[in-house]
Structure 1
Amino acid sequence: MPRFEPFRALRFATSSLDTVIAPPYDVLSDADVDALEARSPTNIVRVDVPRGGPDRYRRAAETLADWQRRGVLVPDATETFTIYRMRFTDAGGARRNLAGVVGGLELTDPGSGGVLPHERTTPKASTDRLDLTRATRANLSPVWGLSLASGLTALLDEPAEQVGRVMDEGVEHAVERVSDPDRIAAIRDQLAADDVLIADGHHRYAISRSYRDEVRAATGRTDTAAEQTLAFVGELVAEQLSVEAIHRLYDDVSLADLRAALATRFELTPLPEPTPATLAAMQAEGFLVLVGPDRAERLTPRAGAFDGVRSLDGVWLEETLANVPASVSYQHGLGEVTAAVRDGRATAAVLIRPVSVDEIERTAREGLLMPPKSTFFTPKLKTGFVIRQLGD
């Protein structure tokens, strides 16, 4: 089972956290970064999303060190955990209260258990995150993990010392410091009782493992802070989690060829332009939707077409289009998907249904992997509430 350890968290000293906290780096456009930098000269994006030439990582490290010297960032007096709560209304109108704990999650090797991926990952050639970690010697953005051990939520129910709260787009993000040794021990022991599934941040976790290996090679040690990475871990419970779909965009293929391939396993019938009501109907009635530049069609699985195939939309599409030489990319959000097709950035798209929490757990327990980009956990965790240092 994985180790999950407290650490001396580095935190912003300001009470105006909304000026210094940011969304995770991988959802930010250049315009987003401009806006965040304009909020404050000490917004975390100045470290987490450094700009400029080859020296940008060195400058990010210098900025991080300067903020510590000036008291912009202050370390906790002792090793702590951080309870991170998000309160929000999901896309279906349900009110949710999500609670997890931020700490240092053990970095395990692929296949060794303890920390499990839940989907295959797409290759990323960029070394940006590894270069930034080398320079700053810090974990800035947390991995999102889901504990398969029941009981974590109950341990987090009691409020701890509040250290920050931010409202953003209708979501309340609140963090509380846990410094009581008995409560720290209880949380640590609970998370050691079962595996942790990576929900979001597979790439960040892999980069942290690469950095760990570099530290081991350089020092000969296996007891440094690089043995863990910054992680938010919550319990895998359906009432807390909001899981949305990531739809498929297809290119380098004609619409006629794509339709012909889909027709081998699906019945295609015309639909009006998709709306949020269409997404709800997809879940209730069990169909997918093909979106073309001037038409939409309902994709209803043919009888027996997927016998012996796991009941996941992403798997169905992989099976159906295995011999179609198309390029596939991934997009969250109905409006963004239809715009990509309408603007010619994709030949067509297929809208799929969100994966259920039960299916996520079943997949993990059976040691299987979903197709890439099968799940989109919302809301996204903020960067900057907690920074974990990797140096001595």
Structure 2
Amino acid sequence: MDNAVIRPFRAVGFRGGSAVVSTRTYVPSASWSRAPRDLPEHHVLRLLEPAFRSDDPHQATRVAHEWMDDGTLGIDAEPAFYAYRTVEDGHEALGVVVLVDLEAGNLRPHEDVIAAYAIRQARLAEATRAQWEPITAYTTREPIGPLLAAATDRPADHVAEDLGRSDEIWAITDPKTLRAVSERLADQQLVIADGHHRYAAWRTAPEREGRLALTLVLDQPVLTVGPIHRFVAQLNLDEALLGLPLPALELAGVEAAAEFIAVSETRCVLTDGRRFLGVDAYECASCWVEDVFTPHHGLESDAVSYEPDLDAAARIAKEEGGVSLLLATPSLETVTRAATTGRLLPHKSSWFRPKPRVGMIMRRWG
């Protein structure tokens, strides 16, 4: 097992009952900007925010040491795989948290990354010698769910519940199940659904342990995928399509825009929040924006902002002045093809649900 592509590990987590774990962890949205601003003293984001809100990853190291010493965080006694189940709005997703050896090449990204974000993640992991949030990936051949059913027949080891969602974790130490899970996952490619910047950061880790990636593996049927829309300030809608040889269809409003892009992954709607122009790019919409629209207008990456909610993207264009690009959802087939062929989609082409609750299961080494 020590030399396998898929490895067990000793999980780190908050100690205390469900109420304690629930208040110290959180379910992430598609944007870090929506993370809580006022954090309780022992909230997990105190371990993550140096990668986003400050430039001192060693602050997270100091916090981690304090929490390990005072019992806020604990580490499991023996290595395990961890069955992980979420239930939200009646939708259940069961997967397994494992370590994936990044040097084996089984874990495959489908999106490009923003280099600055990956660098911050790398500095945080190197300073803390930890992975605070799992990558989420999905199976491409044999499903993992059926191998986990027996492990969830007993009460969960850790539970968090709030806002209509529950998260449960079971440690799996049975040698037969460990072997079956390891063999099933090691024998197929696993496509990253969420966590591309963590993947880019961890695969360059200076320590061998840092190149073993904390990963939640789910099966394709339990995943929901959606688009991430774009907003460009100080761009006029009448000028947005000038020089781009695509016919534009006038749409009645935001509901018509949603119906238009739902037809095909190649569709996009440009709007200033008042008028809506639908175009068909004849390729994945995010690829057209990245490869054609953005360079056509000479836009740098920091000139584009991102919003997963369609109504909010249209509203931003109206309130702030500029143009939002409402993108169709890339199909799961397109996502899988991008990962398995290496022809990556642009960064922030999609969002996936469910995301694991941040702080529910973590890892440290050394």
TM-score normalised by structure 2 residue count = 0.86
- Asked if 1:124 corresponds to 2:108, the answer is no
Letter in 1 for 2:298: P
Separation (CA, whole Å) in 2 of partners of 1:102 and 1:33: 28
1:20, 1:42 within 8 Å by CA — same for their partners in 2?
A: yes
1:234 alignment counterpart: 218
- Asked if 1:206 corresponds to 2:187, the answer is no
Alignment of 1:209-224 (within 5 A): 209-211=203-205, 214-215=206-207, 224=208
How many pairs are equivalent? 354
Separation (CA, whole Å) in 2 of partners of 1:284 and 1:25: 25
- Asked if 1:256 corresponds to 2:232, the answer is no
Unpaired runs of 5+ residues, structure 1, are 90-94, 216-223
Separation (CA, whole Å) in 2 of partners of 1:127 and 1:113: 21
Separation (CA, whole Å) in 2 of partners of 1:232 and 1:135: 23
2:348 alignment counterpart: 373
Letter in 1 for 2:287: V
1:362 alignment counterpart: 337
Separation (CA, whole Å) in 2 of partners of 1:118 and 1:83: 25
1:24, 1:141 within 8 Å by CA — same for their partners in 2?
A: no
CA deviation after TM superposition for structure 1 residue 260, in Å: 2.3
CA deviation after TM superposition for structure 1 residue 189, in Å: 0.9
Letter in 2 for 1:260: L
Q: 1:252 to 1:342 in 2, by over 3 A?
A: closer
Alignment of 1:1-392 (within 5 A): 3-15=5-17, 16=19, 17-24=21-28, 27-29=31-33, 32-34=36-38, 37-38=39-40, 41-50=41-50, 56-89=56-89, 96-108=91-103, 113-124=105-116, 127-160=119-152, 162-211=156-205, 214-215=206-207, 224-235=208-219, 237=220, 239-251=221-233, 253-262=235-244, 264-269=245-250, 271-275=251-255, 278-284=257-263, 287-299=267-279, 301=280, 306=282, 311-318=283-290, 320-321=292-293, 322-326=295-299, 327-344=303-320, 347-391=322-366
CA deviation after TM superposition for structure 1 residue 125, in Å: 5.8
CA deviation after TM superposition for structure 1 residue 199, in Å: 1.4
1:110-150 CA distances to partner (integer Å, 9 max, x unpaired)?
A: xx742211122233267432332233211101111122231
1:225-266 CA distances to partner (integer Å, 9 max, x unpaired)?
A: 22302111112x2x311001111223454322213245x223
CA deviation after TM superposition for structure 1 residue 363, in Å: 3.1
Separation (CA, whole Å) in 1 of partners of 2:29 and 2:48: 7
Q: 1:253 to 1:227 in 2, by over 3 A?
A: same
SS in 2 for 1:124: helix
1:221 alignment counterpart: none
1:347-383 CA distances to partner (integer Å, 9 max, x unpaired)?
A: 2012111122222223334332222211111233211
CA deviation after TM superposition for structure 1 residue 67, in Å: 1.9
1:175-225 CA distances to partner (integer Å, 9 max, x unpaired)?
A: 2221212111111111101112121111111211232xx23xxxxxxxx42
CA deviation after TM superposition for structure 1 residue 274, in Å: 0.4
Separation (CA, whole Å) in 2 of partners of 1:319 and 1:207: 25
Unpaired runs of 5+ residues, structure 2, are none
1:139, 1:230 within 8 Å by CA — same for their partners in 2?
A: yes
Separation (CA, whole Å) in 2 of partners of 1:272 and 1:49: 42
Letter in 1 for 2:344: L
Q: What RMSD in Å do the two structures reach over aligned CA positions?
A: 2.8
1:273, 1:295 within 8 Å by CA — same for their partners in 2?
A: yes
Q: 1:267 to 1:30 in 2, by over 3 A?
A: closer
CA deviation after TM superposition for structure 1 residue 99, in Å: 1.8
SS in 2 for 1:129: helix
1:149, 1:191 within 8 Å by CA — same for their partners in 2?
A: no
Q: 1:254 to 1:2 in 2, by over 3 A?
A: farther
2:118, 2:198 within 8 Å by CA — same for their partners in 1?
A: no
1:244, 1:355 within 8 Å by CA — same for their partners in 2?
A: yes
